[in-house]
Amino acid sequence: MVQYVGVENMVRLIAAIGIEPYLIGLAGYIEEDFRRWSLFEKAPRVASHSADGVIELMPTSDGELYGFKYVNGHPKNTRTGLQTVTAFGVLSDVETGYPRLLSEMTITTALRTAATSAVAARYLAREDAAVMAIIGLGSQSEFQALAFKALNGIRRLQVYDIDPAATAKFRANLAGHGFEIEVASSAEAAVLGADIITTVTADKLKATILSDNMIGAGVHINAVGGDCPGKTELQRDILLRAEVFVEFPEQTRIEGEIQQMEPDFPVTELWRVIVGETKGRRTEDQITIFDSVGFATEDFSALRYLRDQVEGTDYYDEIDLLTEPEDPRNLFGLLSAPAAAPRAVLGAR
């Protein structure tokens, strides 16, 4: 039997732990796995692109566990009442190849993306950073705000979205969470005086969400929305003025903001900063960019954290995903055996 964490149990688990404590715990696992970077198998995600969006597989292994995530990105889905991003993931034992955990990863991806952003900002933003601008108030925006509050102490938000309904949704969802929220009339107004700028728009195109003249000295940019070929948010000139930090360069050069740049454009891998091999922010005036596209090790961390949180609880079900013939060499025998009472496909632990 395989542990299965569906949406209902995931929601119950978050409610029991609290979303901010969950983000803090998840961030610890993400940072721990960045410190173990050399142990992981690493490759750009396998992507199937179409005119409507992308479907991706994101695998990795640390030699003991193997994990992968299936995820899509279809911006037009919201027009027909569907989500832009959905996902599920699997965590398996390398020794046997048996999957041990199957989980929803739509909520989990939003959590791990936000937690990774906040971890990066610990090393890249100024220590006195107090104000964050968020451009794009879609499904990821509340998670970003809460992660930066929980891990970085950010409470003042300056926000902008072209859709008033998205802005209303954002404010309603974060009411009572201790934020001071200013709704700006434009992206330019939102970033004015911000110490951290998060861009997290959804349109699958090259856009100029931030132009060079909008960015002053000392700002940290958390560039989240550029996450596939042909989709960017930052004007190229900003990258030329900043130091750019990435997860896995081979993937980011295909999908991130730096796809606009020459193949040898210099970047720094985030794990090198976390382990102390190199510095993140060097001066108060430096402009730093976390060119975040999401990498498989972060999903691995999220699955590992989830596995540990549900162990010994009732926040998961068990499913008979795997066959269990009495003789492991006689698979056909399962089909030819006398009919037995059907087993429940989904049963309580």
Active site residue 308: no
DSSP state of 38: G
Q: Is residue 156 classed exposed, middle or buried when 0-12, 13-18 and 19+ CB atoms within 10 A define those classes?
A: middle
Q: What single string gives the DSSP state of each residue in 214-253?
A: G--TT-EEEE-S--BTTBEEE-HHHHHHSEEEES-HHHHH
193: left (phi over 0), alpha (psi -120 to 50) or beta: left
Strands 99-104 and 2-5: parallel
| Residue 330 CB coordination number (10 Å) | 11
Structure tokens at 30: 């993400």
The catalytic residue among 227, 291, 299, 317 is 227
Nearest-angstrom CA–CA distance, 312 and 304:
15
Nearest-angstrom CA–CA distance, 324 and 339:
16
* Residue length of the chain: 349
Alpha carbon separation from 160 to 118, 216, 235, 282 (Å, rounded): 20, 18, 18, 30
Strands 2-5 and 317-319: antiparallel
Give alpha helix (H) positions in the chain.
7-17, 19-35, 106-124, 141-152, 164-174, 187-191, 236-241, 249-255, 270-274, 296-310, 333-336
> Looking at the annotation, which residues are catalytic?
227
